[in-house]
Structure 1
């Protein structure tokens, strides 16, 4: 069944959707194991944050490969998941250290609604096979998204070497770039903790006449 593109808004004009998506849809249909996130959530990041609304870009890797954990927004986890938070838990630790408030809400839709594009660099993953769709072709979409966002200054939060390498596509000298280790439990102690990305983004936004992000829990 073709993926629903009706909610993509301006993103739907990217060449990827006509040129590359049909082949990816065929590959997903042939996948023998469950694929995450669910089909209706694959483009959730783009649906939630249209290009002109993007003030901050946070690049993830691929979705969580555990049942019920991926919701289409990078690092976000549905409220009813109930399992380990892994990278998101470390993000929340750094948030509390940086700004003070403790965040309990694991669904990051409120961040997306404030202009944070939470984009994974692969939009799908097979169950139990991290990076199993790394070469499926999603990177062509990510390249086009990044090129589209290079038109004006934005805050780029690039955690880990893969995100930093992709971020090199964006050449606007006015971007804020925050590049640190990934918040994964395997690497967070190599420079993610103590990097204060949340206050740095807010300071940059306010210096440019924009409202700060409310990173804490919202109803």
Structure 2
């Protein structure tokens, strides 16, 4: 079973106490969990370049999402504890929504984004868990579910505005690191299930090696009815994890965050 006590304890600084320039100056092992610092070291120059770009965006008067304190939040979860990888696209462009975990929003956000609402509908159909009014997915992250966007930032109000600015190299390295892990007591890859929703997520498949993959249409209202609904990703993930000897994820979220 997954040991939640193994989570790397790195509390994010207050949103108003850190800037992107601050992040760009800090040692990598102060920004992410120690094993992530090692895995991302080869792309550290690209990471610092994109952080400098974000600082320039702010200097030019643009609001960048999520806040600096949440920008690298996905990497505070130890690499060694990742059991499930869910690949997103880029953060929600609505101010107050993006929190550094793909598909998640702040627990106080109402209403939740429609893609997330569709995920909850499928979760109810799949496992019988009632939809929640909040979008705090930290309970999943605490169990080793890596909620990773392909691009980790966005200009407020402009979806996709930070694509091709350097994040893709960073997240490609992260995805390879997850797929290439070798457990301490085995010569084979560590247990892992990867969930790919939509064409953007499918583009990372060449990075995944022999990892178990579940793929379908994206939960967006534009595509959910074309293969996402009825795909049962949550129960299928648990079945694959059990086959790999790594327990299951409790996908039920608390009624309130």
Gaps of 5+ in 1: none
Instruction: Specify the alignment match of 1:95 in structure 2.
Output: 123
* Bigger mean CA offset, 141-150 vs 191-200: 141-150
Aligned residue runs from structure 1 range 55-134, under 5 A? 55-104=83-132, 105-134=134-163
Please say which structure displays the higher CA radius of gyration.
Answer: 2
Task: Tell me the distance in 2 between the aligned counterparts of 1:117 and 1:15.
Answer: 19
Aligned residue runs from structure 1 range 1-219, under 5 A? 1-3=21-23, 5=28, 6-9=30-33, 10-13=35-38, 14-15=40-41, 18-31=44-57, 32-47=61-76, 49-104=77-132, 105-151=134-180, 152=189, 153-172=191-210, 175-218=211-254
Q: Which whole-Å deviations, capped at 9, do the CAs of 1:118-148 have from their partners, x for residues lacking one? A: 0000000000110000111001111111111
Task: Tell me the distance in 1 between the aligned counterparts of 2:89 and 2:75.
Answer: 15
Q: In the comparison of the two structures, how many residue pairs are matched?
A: 216
Task: Tell me the distance in 2 between the aligned counterparts of 1:102 and 1:168.
Answer: 35
CA RMSD of aligned residues (A): 1.5
Q: Which whole-Å deviations, capped at 9, do the CAs of 1:190-211 have from their partners, x for residues lacking one? A: 1000000000001111122222
CA contact (8 A) 1:66 1:128 kept: yes
Distance 1:98 1:46, change over 3 A: same
Q: Which whole-Å deviations, capped at 9, do the CAs of 1:66-121 have from their partners, x for residues lacking one? A: 01101000000111111342110000000000000114141001101101000000
Distance 1:169 1:87, change over 3 A: same
CA contact (8 A) 2:109 2:135 kept: no
Task: Tell me the distance in 1 between the aligned counterparts of 2:65 and 2:42.
Answer: 20
Task: Tell me the distance in 1 between the aligned counterparts of 2:114 and 2:42.
Answer: 32
